[in-house]
Amino acid sequence: MYDVAIIGGGVVGAAVAYELSHYSLHVALVEREEELSFGVSKANSGIVHPGTQNPPDSLKARLCVLGNRLIREMAGTLDLDFKEVGELIVAFNETEIAHLWQLKQEAEDCDVSGLEVVSRQWLRDNEPNLSPDAVAALLAPTAGIISPYRLVYALSGEAELNGVEVRTSTRVDSIICQEGSGFVLSTTHGEICTRYVVNCAGLYADVVSGMVGLDDLRISPRKGEEYILDKKRRYLTRHLLFPVPTPDSKGILVTRTSDGNPMIGPTAYEIEDKEDLSTTDEGLCQVLRVAQRLVPSIDPADIIAYFAGLRPTAGDDFVIRHEKKVPGFVNVAGIQSPGLTAAPAIGKYVAWLLECAGLGMRPKTQRHGRKQRAVHLLAMPLEDAKRVVREDPECAEIVCRCETVSLREVKQAIAVGATTLDGVKFRTRAGAGRCHGSFCTCRIMRILSEKTDRPITSISKRGKGSEIVVADRSDE
Ligand SMILES: Cc1cc2nc3c(=O)[nH]c(=O)nc-3n(C[C@H](O)[C@H](O)[C@H](O)COP(=O)(O)OP(=O)(O)OC[C@H]3O[C@@H](n4cnc5c(N)ncnc54)[C@H](O)[C@@H]3O)c2cc1C
């Protein structure tokens, strides 16, 4: 019998698991995919929002500001690749300047600090590639960028080290509520008995909520297409650049990934199909038009990759509540943007809801932290990289040339749980460079096969159904 079963291993489920691992509780994190972070949390802009563009008095406004603060605090202890680069919301006319002052006031009312409306001259001096038509901007220095999946792995890794059981490839198919004595989850890997359930199932939170008889939740996917530019344009902008937002969206922006690639997008339009991750010509044209208005020198020929993500929306705000009709069941749904930023704050909020719902929360006196940090050659000063290479021959063996990922890094990623090519890529960047893995895929598959003791035919890109090799004829 678990105390708490968390359904869904995206950033929200991982943050709830991380928070609950601070208490003497028996917790399971249950994820249907082969690895964590294979849902919405793998496909987003990776921005740690400062809290400038949320409706005042909304839950997401409060949790975004706290989440931003928590991520900055955790960055050192969890070894997060967070970079505080600051954002500019750019105005092109007097009406938009008036909007900037309104955004500033609303954000300050939510406790966002350091905001400043900067002039045309300031923009010329500090953001040289920005359009000369820009007349002013709202500067929010606490905005940052982070690798979304590495945040999930850092949170879930710490949770696991502190006793949370992570059960992947385990889809919850139905839930029986046993009056007064908890829940039985029927899964693809047997039954799970638990006193409390936290539903963090992202796009499928409405389906999971329906399993306990609640039918008042509907998740609508809102698609966002994003386009990644070559690293040779890494100095395109210094800050994250946003247009003035609309009621539906923060707008199409110019950002960069924590690995240094500029990125433009996302679009925002409603669709029906929760599995539709296609990108479109119209999306590309729209993204280019808006991004080039901000930075005219963006060239379509610089685009090296693209993807789409689906925001799981349930109205305008997050829906996070203990369901009184089903005591012990907490819904964490509609976690659209800024869900990545807010996740650590959502973890704390859910812990508080569980305590209010009667779960005894005894803080642990001792916590374990990961001793071995990942060795990213590309992120190190040259002298340190030379020393590491001298000390460990596996660091000298480069598996992914585009991103300079060594054999040591790939093995480390597998040691902490990667079982697929995407799992290795998300943790190390191997395969994420300009050649899209043409050079390193076979090598990584062989390493995965050897280290996880599975035949090469079972090694997949992102889990069952995405295997690459159909037959192994190496012995013939
Ligand atoms: C294009 C785009 C850009 C964005 N940009 C930003 C940004 O820059 N900053 C920001 O703060 N936020 C951003 N967001 C929002 C952010 O990505 C989401 O809020 C966040 O990732 C949601 O995380 P989640 O854990 O709720 O969902 P998910 O990551 O989808 O996790 C839910 C998990 O539940 C699992 N699951 C579902 N059903 C079951 C079941 N029956 N049994 C077991 N497991 C199940 C799924 O497989 C999935 O892994 C963006 C979103 C999009 C789409």
Residues 376-423: tens digit of each pLDDT: 887 788 999 899 889 999 999 999 999 899 999 999 999 999 999 999
Same domain for 120 and 262, yes or no, is: yes
Q: pLDDT tens-digit profile of 46-80?
A: 999 999 999 889 999 999 999 999 999 999 999 89
> 260's torsion region: left (phi>0), alpha (psi -120 to 50) or beta?
left
CATH number at residue 76: 3.50.50.60
* Candidate of 16, 41, 64 to mutate for ligand 1, largest count of ligand atoms within 8 Å of Cβ: 41
- 49 classed as catalytic: yes
Tell whether 468 is covered by a domain: no
Residue where the block lists tokens 């706290």: 66
- Angle, CA 445 vertex, CA 439 and CA 447 arms, to 5°: 105
394 and 288 in a single domain? The answer is no
Task: Give the torsion sign (CA, 96, 102, 108, 114).
Answer: positive
Distance in angstroms (rounded) separating the CA atoms of residues 27 and 180: 19
Higher pLDDT, 259 or 64: 64
Co-location of 137 and 147 in the same domain? no
Ligand 1: which of 204, 228, 317 to mutate, most ligand atoms within 8 Å of CB?
204
Contact predicate 360/387, CB 8 Å:
no
307 inside domain: yes
- Amino acid letter, residue 33: E
pLDDT band at 446 (very low <50, low <70, confident <90, very high): very high
Name the active-site residue from 49, 239, 322, 376: 49
- The boundaries of the domain holding residue 307 are 87-141+222-311
> How many domains are contained in the chain?
3
Say if residue 442 is in the same domain as residue 330: no
CA of 206 to the centre of ligand 1 (A): 14
Q: Are residues 146 and 80 in the same domain?
A: yes
**Domain-embedded: residue 465:** no
Same domain as 296, residue 266: yes
pLDDT at site 377: 80
Residues with Cβ within 8 Å of 91's Cβ and at least 6 positions away in sequence, in order, are: 97, 99, 100, 134, 135, 136, 137, 138, 244
Q: What is the CATH number of the domain that holds 246?
A: 3.30.9.10
Q: Are strands 240-243 and 87-91 parallel, antiparallel or unpaired?
A: parallel
> Which one of 311, 422, 464 would you pick to mutate in the ligand 1 pocket, going by the greatest count of ligand atoms within 8 A of its CB?
311
22-45 pLDDT tens trace: 999 999 999 999 999 999 999 999
> Which run of H or E residues covers position 70?
helix 59-77
Q: What angle do CA 222, 227, 232 make, to 5 degrees?
A: 155
**Residue 200 in contact with ligand 1 by CB distance below 6 A:** yes
3-state helix, strand, coil in the chain (%, to 5): 35, 20, 45
Same domain, 122 and 239: yes
- CB of 31 closer than 6 angstroms to any ligand 1 atom: yes
Could you give the angle at the alpha carbon of 173 between the alpha carbons of 167 and 174, nearest 5°?
Answer: 115
Same domain, 246 and 337: no
Structural domain contains residue 170: yes
Residue at which a domain ends, from 268, 288, 311:
311
Which of 311, 340, 358 is at the close of a domain? 311
Predicted pLDDT of residue 247: 67
Residues 293 and 243 in one domain: yes
**Structural domain includes residue 469:** no
Is residue 471 one of the residues assigned to a domain? no
For ligand 1, is residue 40 a contact (CB within 6 Å)? yes
421 ligand 1 Cβ < 6 A: no
Chosen domain end from 311, 332, 349 = 311
Q: b/e string for 435-461 if b means 16 or more Cβ within 10 A?
A: eebebbbebbbebbbeeeeeebeebbb
225 CB less than 6 Å from ligand 1?
no
Identify the band that residue 372 occupies on the pLDDT scale cut at 50, 70 and 90. low
pLDDT band at 248 (very low <50, low <70, confident <90, very high): low
Q: Is the pLDDT of residue 371 over 70?
A: no
309 Cα nearest atom in ligand 1 = 53
Cα atoms found within 13 Å of the Cα of residue 378, Cβ hemisphere only = 19
Distance CA 87, CA 106 (A): 16
pLDDT band at 282; cut points 50, 70, 90:
very high
149 domain residue, yes or no:
yes
Question: CATH number, domain at 411?
Answer: 1.10.10.1100
294 and 227 share a domain? yes
Look at residue 30 and tell me if it is in a domain: yes
Do 439 and 343 reside in the same domain of the chain? no
User: Are 239 and 360 within one domain?
Assistant: no
Q: Which residues contact 343 (CB under 8 A, 6 or more apart)?
A: 11, 12, 14, 15, 67, 151, 155
Of 180 and 307, the one with more pLDDT: 307
Q: Ligand 1: does its nearest atom lie under 6 Å from the Cβ of 431?
A: no
Is ligand 1 within 6 A of the CB of residue 443? no
